[in-house]
């Protein structure tokens, strides 16, 4: 406040030339709250129990618990290295081959919207950066509403992203903790009451953090009510291919909405489905009325991007582009992404069968009904705490586990531990 300013002035005017003794500009800056997930990882690292498990990790692990670099990625990298390309700036909107392939991947090669060119796709800094560009764009150009409706719960970072972009957050019912599945009635009820022309965010597949996705018939009804309410649909697709193992199946909802005449906006991430986490490959797409509108929208997206980071990083986009645009590599990628999805699905199946073997009388069907990296187990905070204290199993307090952190060597231990705290 003003007394701090007065201090600064006094110290500036009164101090000697030889020894500056400012108080700091930052005295009033609060320490930011510790990241809850980071806290879990830190505690895990400190634990000396050889049986410990880190189920907070938001990155894929192979069956040995190790990070997995896809073979198609290694091949693409070798190809790139051999070409000895220069390092000139990318255009503001990113690598054209990448953005075009990204749109095609999401929309499907037969999509009318794609073929007609009535879309714009810009490269973004993975999922977060793409979400943020979209949020900023809507704040500036979507004048009908300031409200973004998120499913309850949603990815923790959605709220601060939209807030920092200058929008307001609302929620619609989504997860039913009683059944550990979709509260479809609640969702439909809430969405049918959302003020017209508000923005609604939907997870395209592998909902984070619950793993609960609508079935196709449910998606159809959601599309219908969204259309009736004339809502601006923002799809977040961070797991295409990674959820079911089938890229077309995972993009079904996005494509269905567009076919129903809903011109969505979409953010994509290649962090998980190509294992490109730290390379920050992503894209933001706006489905437009026509190609002319797409050009106008693109020009404004560039105006937003330039003061953020000028132009995007090339490495991840070039790898992804090479994979998507080279038939052999693309085929290999589809096999590899399916194998990651299959391993996750297999861990879910084994966890449930092991729980049954342990003699658990609870219904654990939601574990196999849910999809993607994360699973809302339904465990209560006290039970989570016991898992950590007694078994050195680490997860977030909401009972969410990352199935990627489960391996054949420890799924039995996990089942045993869960049974102990829930019997």
Active site amino acids: 155, 236, 272
Question: What gap in Å lies between CA 331 and CA 75, rounded to an integer?
Answer: 13
Q: Minimum CB separation from another protein for residue 380, in Å?
A: 28
Structure tokens at 224: 């219908």
Q: Tell me the HSE value of 320 on the side-chain side, using a 13 A CA sphere.
A: 36
**What residues from 275 to 294 belong to the interface with another protein (CB under 8 A)?**
275-280, 286, 288-289, 293
14 binds another protein (CB under 8 A): no
Q: Decide: residue 398, CB within 10 A, 0-12 exposed, 13-18 middle, 19+ buried.
A: middle
Q: Which is nearer to another protein, 27 or 361 (CB)?
A: 27
Q: Minimum CB separation from another protein for residue 210, in Å?
A: 21
> 299, 363, 365, 409: which one contacts another protein (CB under 8 A)?
299
**What residues from 384 to 423 belong to the interface with another protein (CB under 8 A)?**
none
Q: Minimum CB separation from another protein for residue 35, in Å?
A: 8
> 56, 241, 245, 312: which one contacts another protein (CB under 8 A)?
312
**What residues from 362 to 391 belong to the interface with another protein (CB under 8 A)?**
none
Asked if 254 contacts 106 with a C-beta cutoff of 8 angstroms, the reply is yes
Q: Which is nearer to another protein, 280 or 348 (CB)?
A: 280
Q: Which is nearer to another protein, 317 or 393 (CB)?
A: 317
**What residues from 220 to 249 belong to the interface with another protein (CB under 8 A)?**
230, 232
**What residues from 151 to 210 belong to the interface with another protein (CB under 8 A)?**
157, 160-161, 163-164, 197
Q: Which is nearer to another protein, 141 or 328 (CB)?
A: 141
Question: Residues for the chain: how many in total?
Answer: 423
**What residues from 102 to 131 belong to the interface with another protein (CB under 8 A)?**
125-129
Asked if 242 contacts 340 with a C-beta cutoff of 8 angstroms, the reply is yes
For residue 58, give the H/E element and its range: none
Asked if 243 contacts 206 with a C-beta cutoff of 8 angstroms, the reply is yes
Structure tokens at 268: 């994509």
Q: Which is nearer to another protein, 157 or 192 (CB)?
A: 157
Structure tokens at 391: 């078994």
Q: Minimum CB separation from another protein for residue 367, in Å?
A: 26
Closest CA to 102 of 128, 123, 133, 75: 123
Q: What is the 3-state secondary structure (H, E, C) of 262-309?
A: CCCEEEEECCCCCCCHHHCEEEEEEECCCHHHHHHHHHHHHHHHHHHH
Closest CA to 187 of 210, 164, 166: 210
**What residues from 85 to 104 belong to the interface with another protein (CB under 8 A)?**
86-92
> 3, 14, 21, 359: which one contacts another protein (CB under 8 A)?
21
DSSP 310-332: SS--HHHHHHHHHHHHSHHHHHH
> 134, 151, 211, 313: which one contacts another protein (CB under 8 A)?
313
> 218, 315, 353, 420: which one contacts another protein (CB under 8 A)?
315
> 39, 42, 63, 69: which one contacts another protein (CB under 8 A)?
69
83 binds another protein (CB under 8 A): no
Asked if 135 contacts 232 with a C-beta cutoff of 8 angstroms, the reply is no
Q: Which is nearer to another protein, 29 or 46 (CB)?
A: 29
Q: Minimum CB separation from another protein for residue 185, in Å?
A: 29
Region of 27-35, 200-208, 221-229, 392-400 interacting with another protein (CB under 8 A): 27-35
Place of tokens 């799809």: 235
């Amino acid at each position: 406040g003003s007394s701090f300013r007065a201090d600064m002035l006094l110290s500036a005017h009164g101090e000697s030339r030889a020894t500056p003794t400012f108080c700091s500009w930052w005295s009033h800056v609060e320490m930011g709250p510790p990241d809850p997930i980071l806290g879990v990882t830190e505690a895990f690292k400190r634990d000396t129990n050889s049986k410990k498990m880190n189920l907070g990790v938001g990155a894929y692990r192979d069956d040995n618990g190790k990070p997995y670099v896809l073979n198609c990625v290694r091949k693409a990298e070798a190809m790139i290295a051999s070409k000895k390309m220069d390092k000139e700036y990318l255009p503001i909107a990113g690598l054209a081959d990448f953005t075009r392939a990204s749109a095609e991947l999401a929309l499907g090669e037969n999509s009318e919207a794609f073929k007609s060119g009535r879309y714009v796709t810009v490269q973004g800094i993975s999922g977060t950066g793409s979400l943020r560009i979209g949020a900023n764009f809507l704040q500036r150009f979507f004048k009908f509403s300031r409200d973004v409706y998120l499913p309850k719960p949603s990815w923790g970072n959605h709220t601060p992203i939209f807030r920092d972009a200058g929008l307001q957050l609302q929620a619609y019912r989504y997860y039913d903790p009683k059944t550990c599945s979709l509260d479809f009635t609640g969702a439909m009820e809430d969405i049918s009451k959302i003020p017209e022309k508000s923005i609604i965010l939907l997870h395209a597949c592998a909902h984070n953090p619950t793993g609960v996705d609508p079935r196709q018939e449910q998606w159809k009804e959601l599309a219908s009510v969204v259309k009736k309410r004339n809502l601006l649909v923002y799809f977040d697709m961070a797991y295409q291919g990674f959820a079911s193992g089938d890229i077309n199946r995972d993009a079904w909802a996005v494509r269905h909405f567009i076919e129903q005449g809903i011109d969505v906006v979409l953010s994509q991430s290649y962090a998980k489905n190509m294992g490109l986490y730290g390379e920050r490959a992503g894209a933001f797409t706006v489905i437009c009325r026509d190609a002319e509108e797409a050009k106008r929208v693109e020009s404004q997206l560039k105006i937003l991007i330039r003061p953020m980071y000028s132009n995007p990083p090339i490495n991840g986009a070039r790898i992804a582009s090479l994979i998507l645009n080279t038939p052999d590599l693309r085929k290999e990628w589809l096999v590899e992404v399916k194998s990651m999805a299959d391993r996750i699905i297999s861990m879910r199946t084994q966890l449930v069968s092991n729980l049954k073997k342990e003699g658990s009388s609870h219904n654990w069907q939601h574990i196999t009904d849910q999809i993607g990296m994360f699973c809302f187990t339904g465990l209560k905070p006290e039970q989570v705490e016991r898992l950590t204290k007694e078994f050195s199993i680490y997860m977030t307090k909401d009972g969410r586990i990352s199935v990627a952190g489960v391996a054949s060597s420890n799924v039995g231990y996990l089942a045993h531990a869960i049974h102990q705290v829930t019997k």
